[in-house]
């Protein structure tokens, strides 16, 4: 079903945007553009899914109204969004953002259909958090107009958009996406194509390390989470893993290990948790236990058995956790990303702060610790724990050049 625009709204709207997929991310992206004056065509595969998307948009708008958005403004935003279950109205769209599930075959079908139905000048973007933009472009006859626009959840609140060109993406397409994202109040950062892009790539190293610290006995669940919150993060890594689901975390961890090798080795605890159905909030227990309203009710006691099951396979650890060390793999990955020219050096910390809510980015943390101290600690850990602490060559070069900080 197509929804009619309110009188005069279409005339005042900016470039028309289409969003394919009305799930959590798709509906939030649609709202983001609508609240910035764009008319949005929201597509789903069925009326039921479309109505669920509208219900989520209404829920998000209700939250904004509680914070002061007027009913009139809310109505204007809502009426900039129209819905459809086919591609017939895509001919006039200037940009499409695909926000379907992270399945390459699903996305292949969508991009093939978009290439057929959209006008030749239409730019096709994907909200994928990790899949190859070049591969997505190969499903079309317009690879120069295909790119990634990776919004962070929730898209209508989080400031970062990673703009990711594929091998064939034109400079003009990248500029368009950067300018468009900036025009709706986002920090738009160009990120070169690599597995998990920039922010999630660095996040993955830190998330994995938190599991190694836990199974090594250096610190408990609450101690780890509280330490990183006090240090630099808005939420602990184990609480975050419970929110996202251990199954999702395992899928991402396996993908990163496949793409990057041993330093992204999958923590065995994650494998065992998924095998045992201990997935986090969605199952009522993960690192923490949850009540029926998904409110945390303490550490999951079952976790002790799972940790004991894998602890004997982990490298030995002595002493107590030093919270700075938990971030060393992230810092090291930041230097590897700079070495690969994945982004501009000045964009890296800003992207991590906007995408993850960090109070300081990894390069700032490294500078605070001192690059020489960072390298020394990584070298010591490398001798004990192996590949996940192999120092980045660029970090060594900075230290050899007697630099005390990155900038």
Mind telling me the catalytic residues? Answer: 129, 150, 162, 200
Cα separation of 297 and 302, whole Å?
Answer: 14
Q: Which of 273, 335, 244 is nearest to 25 (CA)?
A: 244
Q: Are 53 and 27 in contact (CB under 8 A)?
A: yes
How many CA atoms lie less than 13 Å away from 395 in the CB half-sphere?
A: 28
Cα separation of 286 and 236, whole Å?
Answer: 14
Cα separation of 249 and 199, whole Å?
Answer: 15
Tokens of 75: 């109505």
Tokens of 379: 């070298």
Q: Which of 97, 118, 322 is nearest to 219 (CA)?
A: 322
407: helix, coil or strand? coil
Residue 296 bridge partners (DSSP): 290
Tokens of 142: 């317009």
Looking at 312-370, list the stretches that DSSP marks H as alpha helix, in order from N- to C-terminal side.
323-326, 328-339, 345-356, 362-369
- The single residue listed with the structure tokens 């996202």 is 244
**170 DSSP 8-state letter:** -
**300 DSSP 8-state letter:** -
Residue 376: CB atoms within 10 Å: 14
């Amino acid at each position: 079903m197509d929804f009619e625009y309110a009188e005069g709204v279409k005339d005042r709207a900016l470039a028309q945007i289409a969003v394919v997929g009305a799930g959590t991310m798709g509906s939030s992206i649609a709202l983001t553009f609508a609240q910035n004056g764009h008319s949005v065509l929201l597509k789903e595969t069925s009326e039921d899914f479309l109505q669920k998307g509208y219900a989520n948009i209404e829920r998000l708008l209700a939250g904004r109204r509680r914070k002061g958005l007027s009913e009139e403004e809310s109505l204007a935003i809502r009426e900039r969004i129209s819905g459809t279950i086919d591609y017939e109205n895509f001919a006039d769209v200037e940009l499409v953002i695909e926000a379907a599930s992270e399945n390459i075959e699903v996305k292949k079908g969508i991009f093939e259909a978009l290439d057929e139905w959209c006008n030749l000048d239409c730019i096709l973007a994907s909200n994928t958090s990790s899949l190859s933009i070049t591969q997505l472009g190969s499903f079309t006859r317009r690879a120069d107009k295909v790119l990634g626009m990776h919004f962070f959840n929730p898209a209508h609140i989080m400031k970062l958009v990673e703009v990711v060109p594929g091998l064939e993406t034109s400079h003009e397409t990248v500029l368009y996406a950067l300018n468009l994202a900036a025009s709706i109040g986002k920090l738009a950062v160009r990120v070169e194509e690599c597995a998990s892009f920039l922010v999630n790539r660095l996040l993955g190293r830190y998330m994995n390390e938190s599991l190694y610290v836990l199974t090594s006995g250096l610190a408990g669940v609450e101690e780890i989470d509280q330490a990183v919150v006090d240090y630099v993060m808005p939420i602990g890594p184990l609480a975050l893993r419970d929110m996202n689901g251990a199954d999702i975390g395992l899928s991402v961890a396996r993908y990163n290990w496949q793409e990057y090798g041993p330093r992204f080795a999958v923590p065995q605890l994650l494998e065992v948790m998924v095998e045992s159905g201990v997935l986090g909030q969605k199952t009522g227990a993960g690192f923490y236990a949850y009540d029926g309203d998904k409110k945390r009710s303490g550490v999951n006691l079952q976790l002790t058995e799972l940790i004991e099951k894998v602890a004997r396979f982990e490298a030995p650890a002595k002493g107590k956790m030093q919270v700075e060390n938990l971030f060393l793999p992230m810092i090291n990955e930041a230097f590897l990303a700079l070495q690969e020219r994945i982004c501009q050096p000045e964009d890296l910390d800003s992207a991590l702060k906007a995408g993850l809510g960090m109070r300081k980015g990894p390069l700032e943390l490294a500078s605070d610790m001192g690059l020489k101290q960072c390298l020394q600690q990584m070298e010591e850990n490398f001798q004990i724990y192996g590949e996940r602490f192999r120092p980045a060559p660029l970090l060594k070069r900075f230290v050899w050049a007697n630099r005390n900080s990155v900038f």
